[in-house]
């Protein structure tokens, strides 16, 4: 049987595990697919190559799939997400000296994001009063959970992310170096980069992303809507291969094999990948660790099913920070990007198992339950919402 060739672009991050394992452990081949995995250096490249058809599919930041479909920040190319590659997996890491300052101003346990956000507001106010430069935080892309999680956390403590601090886009491989050079005071990035900073003794993990939001769609498999329509059978085969791979990644018995396979593509140690997948991270250079079975979720708890509630939540963040206007129409378009129908068509209807999941599907650490039907009402609860475009990059 001749196999169909596919080109899939990815960024070397641990949440590409399902794609990597599907290809390198034979799940794609078993579905008759001959996949060429193409490693990329920037999300912009991944997006553009997907847009113009150099890639058939890509490992993509979930909010980018929505931004592309809405035509914000770049040209409008309808992208769909028929498979969710991972939930969560990010963390906020800060310089030890910022951690010390946060400790000094904390009114409780810094592991509680409510406490750390309030403490951050006090540090920011103190720096302002003595004329110090505003704190600078790195994140990976304007349309990313890294951007939104930092903003959500800061704003909860009363910090205005557009006025009180600087947020700068940094490519993940530059994050650790930027911490070392003092160019940034902290960052929000995906695995393995937080652990790399901690292992190098340069940073301390303040929060896991899942402490900010318990369930956040982090990366999706993205394909052009047009391509999906033309290649329905092929897409179904790819979804099945990814599902098997995701379940393989999740099974603890396979951890060693998965870690070795993924580490090979990422050029990091297999042990670090295994720690990450187990949700057991060293958070401080002194060796302190933190454990969470929610740190990164691949292939379990219905994580692979693209959930339109997640799409609505991401659209709400896009609107909250002024990257797009607030409208029911745009929200509906955003929800249409996530395609559980295609997922179910490929796999058969699977009964969702949400035993341990937040009741609104998101589980943000503050604020009311998320109601996707009423984005405007939801955003009204955040009084510092802006109508203009964000000023997230004023670095003059």
Give the interface with other proteins as residue ranges (CB under 8 A). 41-45, 48-49, 51-54, 73-75, 77, 140-142, 168-174, 178, 181, 183, 322-323, 388-396
Q: What are phi and psi of 132, to 5 degrees?
A: -75, 160
**Between residues 22 and 318, which has the closer beta carbon with respect to other proteins?**
318
Tell me the C-alpha to C-alpha distance, in Å, between residue 342 and each of 225, 240, 349. Answer: 11, 11, 10
Nearest-approach distance from CB 215 to other proteins, in angstroms? 26
CB neighbourhood size of 57 (10 A): 26
Nearest-approach distance from CB 28 to other proteins, in angstroms? 19
Nearest-approach distance from CB 70 to other proteins, in angstroms? 14
**Between residues 141 and 208, which has the closer beta carbon with respect to other proteins?**
141
**Between residues 84 and 140, which has the closer beta carbon with respect to other proteins?**
140
CB–CB of 191/12 below 8 Å? no
**Between residues 354 and 391, which has the closer beta carbon with respect to other proteins?**
391
**Between residues 9 and 299, which has the closer beta carbon with respect to other proteins?**
9
- Nearest alpha-carbon partner for 311 in 336, 344, 343, 329: 336
Nearest-approach distance from CB 394 to other proteins, in angstroms? 6
Tell me the C-alpha to C-alpha distance, in Å, between residue 65 and each of 148, 161, 336, 337. Answer: 15, 24, 11, 7
Joined together, the tokens standing for residue 74 give 């770049």
Nearest-approach distance from CB 198 to other proteins, in angstroms? 21
Nearest-approach distance from CB 385 to other proteins, in angstroms? 15
**Between residues 39 and 354, which has the closer beta carbon with respect to other proteins?**
39
Nearest-approach distance from CB 159 to other proteins, in angstroms? 19
CB neighbourhood size of 390 (10 A): 18
**Between residues 158 and 171, which has the closer beta carbon with respect to other proteins?**
171
Spatial separation of the C-alpha atoms in residues 55 and 47, rounded to whole Å: 9
**What's the N-to-C CA distance of the chain in angstroms?**
59
User: Which residue is associated with the tokens 């085969």?
Assistant: 237
The set of residues, in sequence order, having a beta carbon less than 8 Å from that of 1 and lying 6+ positions away, is 32
**Between residues 48 and 360, which has the closer beta carbon with respect to other proteins?**
48
**Between residues 73 and 158, which has the closer beta carbon with respect to other proteins?**
73
For 276, how many CA atoms within 13 A lie in the half-sphere containing its CB?
Answer: 32
H helices present in the chain, as ranges? 17-24, 27-30, 43-51, 62-70, 96-105, 113-129, 145-156, 172-180, 193-199, 209-212, 225-230, 232-250, 255-266, 270-278, 308-320, 328-337, 340-347, 375-380
Nearest-approach distance from CB 327 to other proteins, in angstroms? 19
Tell me the C-alpha to C-alpha distance, in Å, between residue 186 and each of 138, 139, 296. Answer: 6, 9, 20
Nearest-approach distance from CB 60 to other proteins, in angstroms? 13
For 95, how many CA atoms within 13 A lie in the half-sphere containing its CB?
Answer: 17
């Amino acid at each position: 049987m001749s196999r169909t060739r596919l080109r899939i672009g990815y960024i070397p991050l641990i949440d590409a595990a399902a794609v990597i394992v599907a290809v390198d452990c034979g799940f794609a081949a078993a579905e008759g697919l001959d996949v060429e995995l193409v490693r990329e250096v920037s999300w912009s490249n991944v997006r553009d190559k997907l847009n113009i058809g150099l890639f058939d599919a890509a490992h993509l930041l979930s909010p980018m799939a929505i931004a592309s479909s809405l035509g914000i920040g770049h040209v409008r190319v309808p992208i769909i997400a028929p498979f969710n590659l991972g939930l969560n997996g990010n963390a906020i890491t800060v310089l030890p000296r910022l951690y010390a300052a946060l400790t000094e101003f904390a009114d409780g346990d810094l592991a509680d994001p409510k406490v750390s956000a309030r403490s951050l507001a006090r540090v920011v106010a103190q720096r302002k009063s003595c004329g110090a430069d505003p704190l600078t935080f790195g994140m990976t892309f304007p349309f990313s959970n890294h951007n939104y999680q930092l903003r959500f956390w800061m704003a909860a403590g009363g910090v205005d992310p557009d006025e009180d601090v600087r947020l700068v886009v940094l490519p993940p491989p530059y994050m650790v170096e930027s911490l070392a050079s003092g160019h940034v005071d902290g960052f929000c990035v995906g695995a393995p980069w937080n652990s790399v900073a901690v292992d190098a003794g340069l940073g301390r993990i303040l929060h896991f992303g899942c402490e900010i939001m318990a369930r956040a769609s982090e990366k999706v498999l993205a394909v052009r809507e047009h391509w999906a329509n033309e290649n329905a059978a092929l897409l179904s085969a790819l979804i099945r291969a990814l599902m098997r791979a995701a379940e393989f990644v999740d099974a603890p018995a396979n951890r060693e094999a998965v870690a070795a396979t993924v580490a090979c593509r990422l050029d990091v140690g297999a042990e670090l990948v295994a720690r990450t997948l187990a949700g057991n991270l060293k958070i401080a250079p002194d060796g302190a660790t933190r454990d969470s079975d929610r740190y990164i979720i691949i292939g379990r708890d219905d994580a692979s099913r693209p959930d339109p509630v997640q799409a609505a939540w991401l659209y709400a963040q896009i609107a909250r920070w002024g990257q797009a206007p607030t409208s029911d129409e745009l929200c509906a378009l955003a929800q249409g990007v996530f395609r559980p129908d295609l997922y179910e068509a490929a796999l058969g209807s699977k009964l969702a198992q949400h035993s341990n999941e937040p009741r609104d599907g998101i589980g943000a650490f503050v604020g009311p339950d998320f109601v996707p039907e009423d984005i405007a009402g939801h955003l009204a609860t955040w009084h510092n919402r802006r109508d203009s475009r964000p000023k997230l990059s004023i670095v003059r």
